[in-house]
């Protein structure tokens, strides 16, 4: 499908139609010129459909969140905030922007600790995912092609089963009379008393690593699979040991995969809601839980919006890096 080249290609550097085209459109065979015009409008229509959808349902909502984050909270109102923009009777537009919600976010100790805790949990979960996922991806990439597809299928399969239920499965394993404690305490007597693992940070780490591991493995695998084996052989011929050739050849080459996988884990982990609610501490909240509590329990929409905007600002750099890598991957696939 190359209508773009056909229609756009006929324009000059300033976007003007070339004289030949203008002549043909005006005096050429009527059906043919009609076809060109229809083609161009049809193409615009095709571009417009997904564009409009995303503008209306993805971009505009963020602008609304941004607007409400500056609004004043009115607990009894429906909706519970004062209008930000208001037409006064004299025909003037009144704009009221309050930064109170934002100030609160960075002063209230509950919030500050939630921010740090979320970042810490996301960071270390990413690290653990990498430590477990990298060797796994490496082993899959090095296995014979017939096994490779089966192994990949095994990695992807849990991803297709319900995320919520997989997190829930850990409740049955981690709780005081759960499977792990039964094995360690009742059967083998390795520990003197059942371990308290539920509602701890440990459980959150387990839950996040468990749920996001496929997201780490898949980009790493697709990177490692493409590596040229002759490079490793060359390194070994030149006298590098297995560890050195790994550190000097494989690891640097797999850097894009590491970044893509890590971001795919880190970004959603910062805003993770389900895992800490089911497995996590009750005395230490993560940011997503605060946001939903502000919204559903306190009905403080401005403050919930401010949390969302702050979280977005925090994640905007990682998200943009991720997009850059994603585009590069697609361009590389094209070549």
Partner 1 sequence: MKTQGLFSKSMLGVGLAFLYIPILSMVFYSFNNSRLVTVWDSVNSPTVKWYVQLFKDRQILSAAWLSIQVAATTATGAVILGTLAGLVLSRFGPFRGRAFLQGLTTAPLVMPEVITGLSMLLLFVSLEQLFTAWFGWQFDRGFATITIAHITFTMAYVTVVVQSRLAGFDDSLEEAALDLGARPAKVFFRITVPLILPAILSGWLLAFTLSWDDLVITQFVSGPGSNTLPMVIFSRVRLGVSPVVNALATIMVLVVALGVVLSAIFMRRQEQRRKREEQMAATG
Considering only residues 11 to 70 of the shown chain, the ones binding partner 1 according to CB under 8 A are 35, 39, 42-43, 46-47, 49-51, 53-55, 57-62, 64-65, 68
DSSP string over 247-266: IIIIHHHTHHHHHHHHHHHH
Which one among 21, 104, 202, 246 touches partner 1, defined by CB under 8 A?
A: 246
Nearest to residue 68, comparing CAs of 229, 285, 306, 316? 306
- What is the smallest separation between the CB atom of 90 and partner 1, expressed in angstroms? 21
The residues, ordered by sequence, that sit 6+ positions from 240 with a Cβ below 8 Å of its Cβ are: 248, 249
Q: In the window 96-115, what residues touch partner 1 (CB under 8 A)?
A: none
In DSSP terms, 73 is beta-bridged to 81
- Residues in 212-241 at the binding interface with partner 1, rule: CB under 8 A: 213, 236
Please, how many CA atoms are within 13 Å of residue 8, restricted to the half-sphere of its CB? 6
Residues 212, 214, 219, 224, CA torsion sign = positive
Residues 6 or more apart from 29 whose CB is under 8 A from it?
A: none
Hey, is 85 helix, strand or coil? strand
Lay out the site mask for partner 1 across 280-319 (x = CB under 8 A, - = otherwise): --------x--xx--x-----x--xx--x--xx--x--xx
Which residues, 6+ apart, have CB-to-CB distance to 72 below 8 Å?
A: 81, 82, 96, 98, 100, 302
Binding track over 178-197 against partner 1, x by CB under 8 A? xx--x---------------
Mark the segment that binds partner 1 (CB under 8 A) among 24-32, 87-95, 107-115, 242-250.
Answer: 242-250
| Count of residues near partner 1 by CB under 8 A | 101
Q: Within 112-141, which residues bind partner 1 (CB under 8 A)?
A: 132-133, 135-136, 138-140
Nearest to partner 1 of 175, 284 (CB atom): 175
Which of these ranges, 24-32, 104-112, 167-175, 187-195, lies near partner 1 under the rule CB under 8 A?
A: 167-175
Choice from 86, 113, 162, 298 touching partner 1 (CB under 8 A): 162
Minimum distance from residue 20 beta carbon to partner 1 (Å): 20
- In angstroms, the Cα distances linking 75 to 62, 66, 106, 249, 294 are 23, 19, 22, 60, 12
Q: How far is the CB of 27 from partner 1 (least distance, A)?
A: 22
Selected binder of partner 1 within 264, 280, 285, 303 (CB under 8 A): 264
Structure token digits, residue 35:
């076809």
Among 119, 151, 240, 259, contact with partner 1 (rule: CB under 8 A): 151
Closer to partner 1 by CB, 26 or 335: give it. 335
Rounded (5°) CA angle 292-302-81: 120
Single residue of 163, 194, 201, 259 touching partner 1 by CB under 8 A: 163
CB of 25 to partner 1, least distance (A): 18
Where does residue 91 fall: left (phi above 0), alpha (psi -120 to 50 degrees), or beta otherwise? left
């Amino acid at each position: 499908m190359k209508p773009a080249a056909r229609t756009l290609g006929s324009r000059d550097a300033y976007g003007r139609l070339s004289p030949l085209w203008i002549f043909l459109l005006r005096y050429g065979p009527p059906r043919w010129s009609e076809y060109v015009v229809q083609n161009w409008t049809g193409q615009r229509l095709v571009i417009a459909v997904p564009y409009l959808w995303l503008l209306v349902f993805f971009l505009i909502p963020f602008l609304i969140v941004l607007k409400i984050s500056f609004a004043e909270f009115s607990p009894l109102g429906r909706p519970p905030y004062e209008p930000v923009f208001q037409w006064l009777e004299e025909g003037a537009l009144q704009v009221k922007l309050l930064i109170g919600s934002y100030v609160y976010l960075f002063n209230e100790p509950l919030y500050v600790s939630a921010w740090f805790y979320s970042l810490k949990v996301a960071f270390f979960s990413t690290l653990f995912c990498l430590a477990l996922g990298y060797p796994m991806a490496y082993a899959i990439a090095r296995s014979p092609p017939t096994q490779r597809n089966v192994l990949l299928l095994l990695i992807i399969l849990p991803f297709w089963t319900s995320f919520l239920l997989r997190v829930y499965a850990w409740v049955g394993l981690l709780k005081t009379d759960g499977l792990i404690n039964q094995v360690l305490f009742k059967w083998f007597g390795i520990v003197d008393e059942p371990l308290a693992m539920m509602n701890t940070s440990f459980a959150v780490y387990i839950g996040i690593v468990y749920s996001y591991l496929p997201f780490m493995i898949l980009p790493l695998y697709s990177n490692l699979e493409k590596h040229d084996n002759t490079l490793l052989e060359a390194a070994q011929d030149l006298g590098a040991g297995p560890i050195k050739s790994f550190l000097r050849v494989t690891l640097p080459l797999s850097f894009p995969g590491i970044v893509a996988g890590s971001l795919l884990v880190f970004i959603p982990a910062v805003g993770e809601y389900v895992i800490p609610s089911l497995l996590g501490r009750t005395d230490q909240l993560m940011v997503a839980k605060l946001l939903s509590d502000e919204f559903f329990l306190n009905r403080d929409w401005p403050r919930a919006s401010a949390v969302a905007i702050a979280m977005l600002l925090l994640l905007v750099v990682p998200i943009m890096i991720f997009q850059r890598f994603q585009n590069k991957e697609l361009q590389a696939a094209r070549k």
